[in-house]
Amino acid sequence: ETGVTQTPRHLVMGMTNKKSLKCEQHLGHNAMYWYKQSAKKPLELMFVYSLEERVENNSVPSRFSPECPNSSHLFLHLHTLQPEDSALYLCASSPETTEYYGYTFGSGTRLTVV
Amino acid sequence: QKEVEQNSGPLSVPEGAIASLNCTYSDRGSQSFFWYRQYSGKSPELIMSIYSNGDKEDGRFTAQLNKASQYVSLLIRDSQPSDSATYLCAVNIRKDDKIIFGKGTRLHILP
User: What pLDDT does A25 receive?
Assistant: 97
What's the burial of A39, exposed, middle or buried (CB within 10 Å: 0-12/13-18/19+)? exposed
For B5-51, how does the pLDDT look when each residue is reduced to its tens digit (9 = 90+)?
999 989 999 999 999 999 999 988 888 999 999 999 899 999 999 99
Counting DSSP H helices and E strands in chain A, the numbers are 0, 11
Contact between B55 and B62 under an 8 Å Cβ cutoff? The reply is: yes
Q: By three-state DSSP, how is residue A60 classified?
A: coil
Asked if B52 is an interface residue toward chain A (Cβ–Cβ < 8 A), one would say no
User: What pLDDT does A98 receive?
Assistant: 73
Cα-flanking dihedrals φ and ψ of residue A85, to 5°? -85, -5
Would you give the distance in Å from CA B89 to the centre of its chain?
4
Q: Which residues contact A110 (CB under 8 A, 6 or more apart)?
A: A9, A10, A11, A88
Contact between B30 and B75 under an 8 Å Cβ cutoff? The reply is: no
CB neighbourhood size of B37 (10 A): 21
For B52-91, how does the pLDDT look when each residue is reduced to its tens digit (9 = 90+)?
999 999 999 999 999 999 999 999 999 999 999 999 999 9
> With an 8 Å Cβ cutoff, are A42 and B103 in contact?
yes
Angle at the Cα of A105 from the Cα atoms of B29 and B82, rounded to 5 degrees: 100
Q: Provide the b/e sequence for A24-35 (b: ≥16 CB within 10 Å).
A: bbeeebbbbbbb
B104: chain A residues, CB-CB within 8 Å: 42
What's the CA gap between A71 and B105, in Å, rounded? Answer: 33
B99 → chain A, closest CA residue: A99
CA distance B65 to chain A (A): 15
What's the CA gap between B76 and A101, in Å, rounded? Answer: 22
A97: chain B residues, CB-CB within 8 Å: 97
What's the CA gap between B54 and B63, in Å, rounded? Answer: 8
User: What pLDDT does B1 receive?
Assistant: 60
Mean pLDDT of chain A: 92
Band of residue A82 on the pLDDT scale cut at 50, 70, 90: very high
